[in-house]
Amino acid sequence: MAGASPVLEDGSVLSWLDRKLLIVERFFGLLAGLAIFSLMLLAVRSVGGRVTLNAPLLGYVDYIEQLMPLIAVLAVSFAQRDGTHIRMDLLVEHLRGRALWLFELIGVLLILVLVVFLIWGSWAHFQRSFDFGAPLWSRDSSTDIALPIWPSKLMVPVAFSVLALRLLIQVYGYGRALILGLEAPAAVPLVMDPAAQAAAEAEMLDDVEAADGPD
């Protein structure tokens, strides 16, 4: 189900790598958040301009189409770090120890294979839209105002590359736990039963409510 799981930290190199990569992931997450925020501002500009001055934002749809891929992929690794991506917990929830780490390892290895192919494919998609010889290096442009599309296409393999690094950390983390038979390995999201998960989710809202002001 949805919701983040705890990731333990310790003094190991793996945990150090995990925390360093988290800095990059949080930055990408914030960029995606700002892209979402700018959707709101674009609409205010577009509707406001249309209603007050009969001057809607030229290329409104083009801008949205540029922003959406960023919103859809930039934070993909940020969400993988703590297991926010949903899955069916029915099986893994009942596993403990080595059996659990085995299934987790299989899962992240399969994702890693997928992501390698997607980096290849999305890089090729970027390359087809990019041409050093053309003005603005553009070989694919948006419909209304002819914005070059390659920058937003480039963000996809970049985000997937960060995800690949994250998956390498998780493969190592789960693999180590499997071989050593660890109880609570660092740098990987740990499985919580639904109750613990709900408690964590509620705690997150606590932080939010604390800022809720005087009501």
- For other proteins, the closer of residues 9 and 89 by Cβ is 89
Phi, psi of 165 (to 5 degrees): -60, -45
Question: What stretch of H or E contains 155?
Answer: helix 150-180
Query: Can residue 161 be called a binding residue for other proteins (CB under 8 A)?
Result: no
Q: Which residue has the tokens 């596993």?
A: 95
C-beta atoms surrounding 109 within 10 Å: 15
Q: Measure the CA–CA gap between 86 and 74, rounded to whole angstroms.
A: 17
Window of 7-15, 16-24, 142-150, 175-183 that interacts with other proteins by CB under 8 A: 142-150
Query: Can residue 19 be called a binding residue for other proteins (CB under 8 A)?
Result: no
Strand pairing partners for 186?
8
Query: Can residue 181 be called a binding residue for other proteins (CB under 8 A)?
Result: no
Cβ(197)–Cβ(3) below 8 Å: yes
Window of 10-18, 22-30, 168-176, 180-188 that interacts with other proteins by CB under 8 A: 22-30
Query: Can residue 12 be called a binding residue for other proteins (CB under 8 A)?
Result: no
Give the residue, chosen from 99, 106, 179, 180, that forms a contact with other proteins under the rule CB under 8 A: 106
Query: Can residue 97 be called a binding residue for other proteins (CB under 8 A)?
Result: no
